[in-house]
């Protein structure tokens, strides 16, 4: 999405930066993992297809994606690729509804609350800058960690698809929930990238 092409979001433990071509080879390597493919309901792409996907996410007005960097690693190395741990996305289902996604690909970065901080920052970004009024999350039925994660964020089950083996969760945006989200993150700064 062009709106976030020159934006980074700085948190306490993570940085969210636009998905650039330089990130594609490492991202492509992650997506060769059968586990990640299953958890994200994704198929393996060729490297060329991954570059095309990156360009699409950058230019299409209905997609917003950020690469998640582990802030401590980035602060030490100043190397975005070395600091990459995952990504978070919003796909606009319609004008005011966004499908939220999160992936922490680096196993060493899991269980450090990097995903929690990243998705909350992304939810707040969507509310403030994209004017999202409702979020949905589609999660594989066998991904109990993500189901628990989004339930803790206040999402409620809306439907199940036995065909796709996924559950759709929904959360309406309101002032009380937005305030609660802000309380969950100690630091969030929107800066030029």
Q: For the chain, which domains are there?
A: 2-185 (3.40.630.30)
For 76, 110, 148, 183, the CA distances from 53, given in Å and listed in that order, are 30, 25, 29, 34
**Residue 169 near residue 150 (C-beta atoms within 8 A):** yes
Q: SS3 for the chain, per residue?
A: CHHHCCEEEEECCEEEEECCHHHHHHHHHHCCCHHHHHHHCCCCCCHHHHHHHHHHHHHCCCEEEEEEEEHHHHHHHCCHHHHEEEEEEEEEEECCEEEEEEEECCHHHCCCCHHHHHHHHHHHHHHHHHCCCEEEEEEECCCHHHHHHHHHCCCEEEEEECCCCEEEEEEECCHHHHHHHHHHCCCEEEEEC
pLDDT category of residue 76 using cuts at 50, 70 and 90: very high
Q: Cα(129)–Cα(188) distance, rounded to whole angstroms?
A: 14
Overall average pLDDT of the 11-30 stretch: 95
Q: Contact 4/192 with Cβ under 8 angstroms?
A: no
Quick: pLDDT tens for 97-131.
999 999 999 989 988 999 999 999 999 999 999 99
State the pLDDT at residue 168.
Answer: 97
pTM of the model: 0.93
- Mind listing the pLDDT tens digit for each residue in 145-166? 999 999 999 999 999 999 999 9
Cα–Cα distance measured from residue 123 to residue 144, given in angstroms and rounded to the nearest whole number: 21
């Amino acid at each position: 999405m062009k709106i976030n092409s020159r934006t980074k979001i700085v948190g306490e433990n993570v940085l969210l930066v636009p998905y650039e071509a330089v990130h594609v080879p490492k991202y492509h390597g992650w997506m060769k993992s059968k586990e990640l493919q299953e958890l994200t309901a994704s198929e393996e792409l060729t490297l060329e297809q991954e570059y095309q996907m990156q360009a699409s996410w950058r230019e299409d007005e209905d997609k917003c994606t950020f690469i998640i960097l582990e802030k401590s690693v980035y602060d030490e190395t100043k190397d975005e690729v070395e600091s990459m741990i995952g990504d978070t996305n919003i796909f606009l289902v319609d004008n005011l509804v966004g499908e939220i996604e999160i992936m922490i690909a680096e196993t060493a970065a899991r269980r450090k609350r990097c995903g929690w901080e990243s998705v909350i920052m992304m939810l707040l970004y969507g509310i403030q800058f994209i004017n999202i009024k409702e979020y949905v999350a589609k999660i594989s039925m066998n991904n109990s960690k993500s189901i628990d994660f989004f339930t803790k964020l206040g999402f409620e089950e809306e439907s199940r698809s036995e065909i796709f083996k996924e559950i759709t969760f929904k959360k309406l945006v309101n002032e009380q929930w937005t305030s609660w989200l802000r309380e969950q993150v100690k630091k969030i700064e929107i800066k030029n990238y």
